C-alpha cells in the first residue's frame, strides 16, 4: 500500500489534491461518481453541440491559489498554461426594474473624472440617481467598510463572526434603496440572505472585491475564454494522467469504514451496483458537505467531533440557466446584476469572451450567442408566477426568469431576449424537477457562511490520523464556498499528509509544501488602527481575544493538529 492516496471526488478540490500529491511522488487514485472531472465547475455538451454549464465561472481579482495552479497546467504551448485562457472583464452592469442602468468599470483608474466626482459629491449623476442612494447611504457604506479595515483579525472572529451583515451595514436602520442594494448584492454574489450572512464573511469578501479594484498589481477580474471543461478541466485531467494519477469514474462513495483509530477502507459502488472496497495509506475526502455529512459514522464523530458538526452547516441553491440566441448582442463587457429580481439573478453575455466559433444549433438554426444566468434565490416567490423556483416546472422557471430579465433589460435599449431571438434554453441538470405537487431537488447546493458557522467548519487535517478534508466548507483564508476556497482547502490537506507521512523531515523537502496565501489588506495607517483595536479588544474582553487568537493560529498553521500546513504565504491576513 505504501504511499497510496485515495481521493474521493474529482471536483476542483480533488483535482488540486491529486496535482500536488502526484508532484510529491505519491501514488494517487481518484474516485468520482460522474463520468467527468470538475464537480460544480464542469461543463458539458448537449446532443446538438451546444455547450452548457452548472453556472458561469468567475475569477475575482482577490483569487491567488487558483491562478497559481492554473499556471502549471499545460495548454497548447501557452507560456502561462491554462491561466492564459483567462480573459479580463471590464465592467459590472447594475440594472433595476424602474431605473436606468449603471455600468461600473472594474478598475478604479479606468473611471473618468466625472464619474469619480459624482461618487464624492452624490450629485445629480447617474450613479446616485440610478441607484437611488443618497449621500447618507454612500457615507454609511464607506464608514462600515472603513470600520472593517481598522478592525484587528481577532475582532473578526471574536465579534464579527457572530454578527449579521444586514444589521452591521446599517441597512435595517436606513432601509429604502440602501437596504435593497445591500440585500441584492449578498443574494446575487453568494446566494445568501443578508440577515443570515456573518459580517466576517459578507463584509470582508465585499471589502476584498472593492480592494481588488484599487490595486495596481495583482490579478484582474476574469472569466474563461471557452467552456470550463474544454479550456481548463480536461487539460488538467490529462496532465494528471500523464503523471500516473488513476481516475475511476462513475464510482460513488457509499461508506467509510473506521476502526482502530484509522480509516481502514472506503466502499464505492459502480454503475452495476457492485460494492468495491478501496484501500490506501491516506484518504482525502474532496466531497461537498451535503454528501460528506452522510458518510460520517458515530465512531468517526467520536474520534473528531468537528466531523459531526458538518451536519449543522447551511446551504442554498445557486444554479444556472442558459439562453441560446440567434443573434448575439452583449449587454456589457462583464457581469450584470438584476437588483430587483425576485430570484436574485446575475448574468454574463458569454460569447464575447469565448474563442469558440461553433456554439451548435437548435432545429437547424445556428446559435450565435449565449446569455448565461445564475439563479441565486430558489426560495422566494417569483414576481410573476408567485411561486418559488424550487416548486416550479422547467417551463415555469424559464418563463419567470425571462420575465424578470426583461423587466430590467427594458431600460438598456437592447432587445436581446425577444422571442424571435431565443433559439433554445437549458436549465442546470443538477436541478431535478418535481413531480406534480412535489418540490425540486438540487444535487449540488452551495454552502452559506451563516453567523457563527465557523465553529462548525472542520480543519483540513482531521483528528483521524489518515483522513483529510478538501472541500470549500473547510476552514480557509478564502472563507467562501468557491473554487478558490476548494483549491486552498486541498493544499492544506496535502500539507497535512506531507507532515504526517514524515516527508517534510527529509533534507531539502521544504519545497514540497503547498503554498497558501491570506487575504490582503492595506497597511500603512490601517496597521496602526488594527494594532490599537487589538489592544482595546484585549483589554475589554481578554477571554474572547484569547480564543480568537487561537483560531487565527490554527488557521495560519493549517491545522489544529499542528501540521504547519500553509505557513508559506503569511500569517492571518491582519
pLDDT at 113 over 50: no
**Grid cell at residue 171:** 441597512
Cα(310)–Cα(256) distance, rounded to whole angstroms?
16
User: CATH number for the 44-61+84-88+318-442 domain, one of 3.30.9, 3.40.50, 3.40.190, 2.60.120?
Assistant: 3.30.9
May I ask the CATH architecture of the domain 4-42+227-314+449-521? Answer: 3-Layer(bba) Sandwich (3.50)
Confidence of residue 216 (pLDDT cuts 50, 70, 90): low
pLDDT at 156 over 90: yes
- Dihedral of the CA atoms 400, 401, 404, 406 (nearest 10)? -110
The predicted-structure confidence for 167-191, as pLDDT tens digits, reads as follows 999 988 888 888 888 887 777 666 5
The predicted-structure confidence for 349-397, as pLDDT tens digits, reads as follows 999 999 877 898 888 899 999 999 999 999 999 999 999 999 999 999 9
Per-residue pLDDT, 8? 98
Query: Fold identical between 4-42+227-314+449-521 and 44-61+84-88+318-442?
Result: no
Per-residue pLDDT, 28? 98
pTM for the complete prediction? 0.92
Which residue did the predictor score with more confidence, 196 or 426? Answer: 426
Per-residue pLDDT, 474? 96
Per-residue pLDDT, 487? 97
Nearest alpha carbon to residue 160 among 463, 532, 449: 449
Per-residue pLDDT, 189? 66
Per-residue pLDDT, 284? 98
Region of poorest pLDDT, from 451-465, 509-523, 539-553: 509-523
- Of the chain, the percentage scoring pLDDT greater than 70 comes to 90
Cα(15)–Cα(3) distance, rounded to whole angstroms?
18
Q: Can you give the residue ranges of every domain in the chain?
A: 4-42+227-314+449-521, 44-61+84-88+318-442, 108-214
The average pLDDT across 89-98 equals: 89
Per-residue pLDDT, 572? 40
Confidence of residue 2 (pLDDT cuts 50, 70, 90): low
Region of poorest pLDDT, from 50-54, 94-98, 209-213, 247-251: 209-213
The residues with which 53 forms a beta bridge, in sequence order, are: 43
The predicted-structure confidence for 387-427, as pLDDT tens digits, reads as follows 999 999 999 999 999 999 999 999 888 889 999 999 999 99
DSSP for 505-560?
GSTT-GGGSPP--PPP---THHHHHHHHHHHHHHHH-HHHHHHHHHHHHHHHHT-T
**Grid cell at residue 126:** 447617474
Radius of gyration, alpha carbons of the chain: 24
The average pLDDT across 465-483 equals: 95
561-564 contact pairs (CB < 8 A, 24+)? 561/459, 561/461, 561/463, 561/496, 563/461, 563/495, 563/496, 563/498, 563/499, 563/500, 564/495, 564/499, 564/504, 564/513
Cα(110)–Cα(333) distance, rounded to whole angstroms?
14
Region of poorest pLDDT, from 68-72, 318-322, 441-445: 441-445
Confidence of residue 130 (pLDDT cuts 50, 70, 90): low
- The separation between CA 537 and the C-alpha centre of its own chain, rounded to angstroms, equals 31
Amino acid at each position: 500500500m505504501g504511499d497510496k492516496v485515495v481521493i474521493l471526488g474529482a471536483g476542483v478540490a480533488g483535482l488540486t489534491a491529486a496535482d500536488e500529491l502526484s508532484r510529491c511522488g505519491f501514488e494517487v487514485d481518484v474516485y468520482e461518481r460522474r463520468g467527468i472531472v470538475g464537480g460544480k465547475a464542469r461543463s458539458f455538451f448537449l446532443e446538438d453541440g451546444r455547450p452548457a454549464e452548472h453556472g458561469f465561472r468567475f475569477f475575482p481579482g482577490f483569487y491567488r491559489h487558483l491562478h497559481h495552479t492554473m499556471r502549471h497546467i499545460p495548454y497548447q504551448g501557452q507560456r502561462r498554461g491554462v491561466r492564459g485562457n483567462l480573459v479580463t472583464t471590464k465592467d459590472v452592469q447594475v440594472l433595476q426594474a424602474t431605473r436606468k442602468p449603471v455600468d461600473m468599470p472594474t478598475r478604479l483608474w479606468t473611471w473618468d473624472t466625472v464619474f469619480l466626482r459624482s461618487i464624492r459629491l452624490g450629485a445629480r449623476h447617474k450613479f446616485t440617481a440610478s441607484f437611488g442612494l443618497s449621500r447618507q447611504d454612500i457615507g454609511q457604506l464607506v464608514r462600515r467598510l472603513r470600520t472593517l479595515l481598522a478592525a484587528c483579525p481577532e475582532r473578526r472572529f471574536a465579534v464579527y463572526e457572530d454578527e449579521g451583515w444586514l444589521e452591521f451595514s446599517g441597512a435595517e436602520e436606513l432601509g429604502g434603496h440602501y437596504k435593497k442594494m445591500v440585500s441584492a448584492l449578498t443574494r446575487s454574489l453568494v446566494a445568501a440572505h443578508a440577515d443570515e450572512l456573518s459580517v466576517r464573511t459578507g463584509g470582508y469578501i465585499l471589502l476584498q472585491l472593492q480592494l481588488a479594484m484599487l490595486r495596481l498589481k495583482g490579478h484582474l477580474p476574469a472569466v474563461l475564454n471557452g467552456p470550463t471543461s474544454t479550456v481548463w478541466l480536461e487539460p488538467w485531467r490529462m496532465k494528471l494522467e500523464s503523471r500516473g494519477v488513476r481516475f475511476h469514474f462513475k464510482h460513488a462513495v457509499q461508506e467509510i469504514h473506521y476502526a482502530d483509530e484509522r480509516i481502514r477502507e472506503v466502499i464505492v459502488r459502480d454503475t452495476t451496483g457492485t460494492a468495491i472496497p478501496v484501500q490506501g495509506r491516506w484518504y482525502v475526502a474532496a466531497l461537498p458537505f451535503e454528501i460528506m455529512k452522510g458518510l460520517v459514522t458515530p465512531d468517526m464523530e467520536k474520534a473528531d467531533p468537528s466531523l459531526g458538526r458538518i451536519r449543522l452547516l447551511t446551504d442554498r441553491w445557486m444554479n444556472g440557466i442558459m439562453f441560446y440566441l440567434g443573434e448575439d448582442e452583449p449587454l456589457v463587457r462583464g457581469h450584470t446584476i438584476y437588483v430587483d429580481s425576485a430570484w436574485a439573478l446575475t448574468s454574463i453575455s458569454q460569447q464575447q469572451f469565448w474563442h469558440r466559433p461553433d456554439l451548435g444549433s437548435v432545429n437547424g438554426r445556428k446559435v450565435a450567442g449565449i446569455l448565461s444566468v445564475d439563479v441565486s434565490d430558489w426560495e422566494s416567490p417569483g414576481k410573476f408566477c408567485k411561486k418559488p423556483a424550487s416548486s416550479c416546472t422547467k417551463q415555469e422557471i424559464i418563463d419567470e426568469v425571462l420575465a424578470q430579465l426583461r423587466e430590467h433589460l427594458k431600460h438598456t435599449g437592447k432587445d436581446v431576449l425577444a422571442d424571435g431571438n431565443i433559439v433554445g434554453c437549458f436549465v442546470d441538470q443538477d436541478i431535478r424537477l418535481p413531480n406534480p405537487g412535489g418540490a425540486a431537488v438540487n444535487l449540488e447546493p452551495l454552502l452559506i457562511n451563516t453567523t457563527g458557522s465557523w465553529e462548525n467548519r472542520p480543519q483540513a487535517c482531521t483528528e483521524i490520523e489518515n483522513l483529510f478534508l478538501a472541500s470549500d466548507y473547510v476552514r480557509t483564508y478564502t472563507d467562501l464556498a468557491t473554487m478558490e476556497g476548494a483549491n486552498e482547502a486541498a493544499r492544506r490537506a496535502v500539507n497535512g499528509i506531507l507532515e504526517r507521512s514524515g516527508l517534510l523531515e527529509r533534507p531539502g523537502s521544504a519545497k514540497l509544501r503547498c503554498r497558501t496565501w491570506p487575504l490582503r489588506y492595506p497597511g500603512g495607517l490601517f496597521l496602526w488602527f488594527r494594532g490599537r483595536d487589538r489592544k482595546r479588544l484585549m483589554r475589554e474582553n481578554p477571554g474572547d481575544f484569547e480564543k480568537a487568537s487561537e483560531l487565527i493560529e490554527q488557521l495560519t498553521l493549517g491545522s489544529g493538529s499542528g501540521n504547519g500546513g500553509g505557513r508559506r504565504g503569511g500569517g492571518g491576513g491582519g
